[in-house]
Amino acid sequence: MKFYKPNEKRLLGEIDYGMFTTLCILLSIGVIMVYSASSFYSMFHNNDSMYFFKRQLLWAIIGLVAMIFMMSYDYHKLKKITPAILIITIPLLISVFFFPEVNGAKRWIQVGIFSFQPSELAKYAVVLFLALSIDVKGDKVKDFWHGLVPYLCVSGFFAALILAEHNMSIAAIIMIVTFIMLFVAGGQIKHLFGIILPALTTLAIFFIFSSDYRRERMLNFIDPWKDAADAGYQLIQSFLALGSGGLTGLGLGQSRQKTLYMPEPHNDFIFSIIGEEVGLIGCLFIISLFIIFIWRGIKVAIKAKDTYGKLLAMGITSIIAVQAIINIAVVTGSMPVTGVPMPFISYGGSGLVINLMAMGILLNISRQIEDKAI
């Protein structure tokens, strides 16, 4: 295997066009469905049916520009700025406590009409740190106390800050992705599955039942019809949307649940509106796009020229994969309701831009793979 010297100039090849095309299709679907899902809601609340559409389109354009830039920015240069990104993320996560709550949670930094969610940055900051540090540590990652525990402590620290914001879903994603990266890096099975996984599962159960609102969500997930007018309302509306969509859907723009039945239909539950308007076929198409993306991302990780690239590609791919899986599971009632947006499709500015920047890094890794025939 050939490794580049620190100051050696790298010749960039072509990007993974399969991944690029998949991302563009997902992004296009997202912008269209944000408009369709939010038109009635935004007309009622903002007196402009295109309010959320225009904002999402603007953020999509900014995100695409950022992605194109990162596609040409050698991912190895990220090593130098990773410590700074990690350190800057900490005060950003703390600063959210000085801003007003939104829907009972402190997750956003709000400046005028713009808002920023630091936890979106934290996910990738942890991935950048893990990829850099594990690459330096090498085979020592197989040691439990010196190889695995320090990384779990760093990830756990960021997860704890996010958990304090009443955002257990993103905290869980950080720990799940950390586990995946440690597994890919060569952590011993007996440590990962015999100690760490049971410990993380126990902690998750503890945090769920130690909080009244999380415990209510869990009980509501088991039987949403028990409190259909309050705690179970959103999930039941999701069921109604998916069920009424049938095989082919009611038609684009024809959703009934988006007419103030589904709370904020353009956000975390946009997949249920998609199911209502384009049916099971449309939902399976979107799921297929995410499967293609995950497959291409894993291929890029396998073919990356160095350990750093492999870990970075796997971490970025894992974030999108885990988020998509959780979002679809929540919308379909397969797990308790939690605030995880669907990547590239749900409404949200900071999350979309940061995700697209990460995709630029992933595509840049794909330009430096060992074998282009993937």
pLDDT tens string 1-42: 333 444 444 546 789 999 999 999 999 999 999 999 999 999
pLDDT of residue 373 exceeding 90: no
38 to each of 25, 32, 98, 339, how far by Cα in Å? Answer: 20, 10, 29, 18
351: Cβ–Cβ under 8 A, 6 or more apart, which residues? 117, 120, 341, 343
132-136, 269-273, 321-325, 334-338: the lowest-pLDDT one: 334-338
User: What value does the mean pLDDT of the chain take?
Assistant: 91
Q: What is the pLDDT of residue 304?
A: 94
pLDDT tens string 324-346: 999 999 999 988 888 899 999 99
Say if CB 232 and CB 239 are below 8 A apart.
Answer: no
Helix (H, G, I), strand (E, B) or coil at 105: strand
Structure tokens given for 301: 């990780």
pLDDT of residue 220 exceeding 90: no
Q: What is the pLDDT of residue 329?
A: 94
Question: CA 341, 342, 346, 350: dihedral to nearest 10 degrees?
Answer: 60
Share of the chain above pLDDT 90, in %: 73
Query: Which one is predicted more confidently, 10 or 267?
Result: 267
Q: Rounded distance, CA 125 to CA 86, Å? A: 5
Q: What is the pLDDT of residue 7?
A: 44
Report the pLDDT averaged over residues 143-165: 94
Say if CB 26 and CB 293 are below 8 A apart.
Answer: yes
Share of the chain above pLDDT 70, in %: 95
pLDDT of residue 258 exceeding 70: yes
Q: What is the pLDDT of residue 366?
A: 95
Question: CA 286, 287, 291, 297: dihedral to nearest 10 degrees?
Answer: 50
Query: Which one is predicted more confidently, 202 or 103?
Result: 202
Q: pLDDT band at residue 370, thresholds of 50, 70 and 90? A: low
319: Cβ–Cβ under 8 A, 6 or more apart, which residues? 123, 124, 127, 173, 177, 358
Say if CB 33 and CB 354 are below 8 A apart.
Answer: no
pLDDT tens string 109-127: 887 777 889 999 999 999 9
Query: Which one is predicted more confidently, 14 or 353?
Result: 353
Q: What is the pLDDT of residue 214?
A: 80
pTM of the model: 0.93
Q: Rounded distance, CA 217 to CA 172, Å? A: 16
